[in-house]
Amino acid sequence: MDFFDIVVSILGSTIRLSIPLLFTALAGLFSERAGIFDIGLEGKMLAAAFASACVAYVTGNAWLGLLGGIGVSLVFSLIHGFASITNRGNQIVSGVALNFVAAGLTIVLGQAWFGQGGRTPQLTGEGRFTPIILPFVDVVRDVPIIGPLYANVISGNNILTYLAFAAVPLSWWVLFRTRFGLRLRAVGENPGAVDTAGISVTWLRYRAVLVAGFLCGFSGAYLAIAQSAAFIKDMSAGKGYIALAALIFAKWKPVPVMFACLLFGFLDAFANFMQGKAVPGIGEVPVQIFQALPYILTCILLAGFIGIAHPPKAGGVPYTKER
């Protein structure tokens, strides 16, 4: 395998590994722009992955599995909204609690229903999303540089991959070119002014967390019935926290969020490629070092070593209407 083939292989893996991060980071974008910190992204993704795998296995239909994952993720979002918006509870505590609930409940239910140690049975056929071959792949495959990139990086992905990248400009348009987006950003900066204008702060924030739940449903479904063919215990593996780090690194803007997720995806893909490889002058490096790269970068970003990110001014602060 020559150098260019290696690059193409890593780029293809980068795209596939960045998709759950992208969906989840966009989910956090809507929630946090409205002033609701959502540490529970991890739990929503995990619960959605379990639900989508279960529904897809029972029905044999990947689209119904996706709907099942979205539905469960929306329920988790409503719980988070009820705790942090209606009851003005601590948003961090609520999110962490949801993560614990999802981690425990998926294992217990998985063992009770399928008896495979928290796993779900393997999906086949229509039960999972399969790769889509784009037009003219065979025609351009032999074209230097462009052909392999088109055939192995752009083409050959499942439908959720293309939906994830389509969600980036759509999110930008919603947030910065619609009345809903203007109000959403305003309620994250100054909810008192929004309330004075006669707009319900509570309803706006609920809509934001519901959008977050909707997108987390996609990320969970991608993990279980697109990237994999079953639910595996704790398969989210901290991706919700990494997506949160990407969101902070991107300063809560959709397009930079996409590039930040691609960066994390690249580190993950590079770690997979370097397993068992020898580094010149060093020799074979333990695979755990490469696997830790995304998490090390997460710590660096959250510690503020690469610029200071300023969240929405009302972020994490329960709103109490003045009387």
> pLDDT tens, 154-212?
988 999 999 999 999 999 999 999 999 999 999 988 888 888 888 889 999 999 999 99
Give the predicted TM-score (pTM) of the model: 0.92
Taking the alpha carbons at both ends of the chain, their separation in whole angstroms is: 70
pLDDT at residue 323 tops 60: no
Residues β-bridged to residue 178: none
* Phi and psi, residue 63, nearest 5°: -65, -40
88: region left, alpha or beta (phi > 0 left; psi from -120 to 50 alpha) = left
CB 93 within 8 A of CB 120: no
Q: What does DSSP assign to residue 133?
A: P
Which phi and psi (to 5°) does residue 312 adopt?
Answer: -50, 140
Encoded tokens for 163: 């939906």
Alpha-carbon gap, residue 47 to 214, rounded angstroms: 12
Enclosing H/E stretch for 189: helix 179-189
Dist. CA 118–CA 72, nearest whole Å: 18
The DSSP 8-state label assigned to residue 284 in this structure reads: E
- What are residue 285's phi and psi, to 5 degrees? -95, 140
**Residue-wise pLDDT tens digits, 35-58:** 899 899 999 999 999 999 999 999
- Could you tell me if 26 and 257 are in contact, meaning their C-beta atoms sit under 8 angstroms apart? yes
Amino acid 271: pLDDT = 82
- Per-residue pLDDT tens digits for 262-311: 988 998 888 888 776 767 767 677 777 777 777 787 777 666 666 666 77
Angle between helices 201-222 and 62-81 (to 10 degrees): 140
Beta bridge partners of 278: 284
- Cα–Cα distances (Å) from 179 to 198, 214, 225, in that order, read 14, 20, 35
Give the model's confidence band at 4: pLDDT under 50 very low, under 70 low, under 90 confident, else very high. confident
**Identity of residue 214:** F
Residue of 36, 18, 4, 19 lying closest to 211 (CA atoms):
36
Q: Which whole number is the average pLDDT over 84-103?
A: 92
Give the pLDDT score at 304: 63
DSSP state of 304: T
Which structure tokens are listed for 60? 């044999």
Q: Taking Cα atoms as reference points, which of 79, 78, 51 lies closest to residue 66?
A: 51
Q: Which of 214, 226, 230 is nearest to 63 (CA)?
A: 226
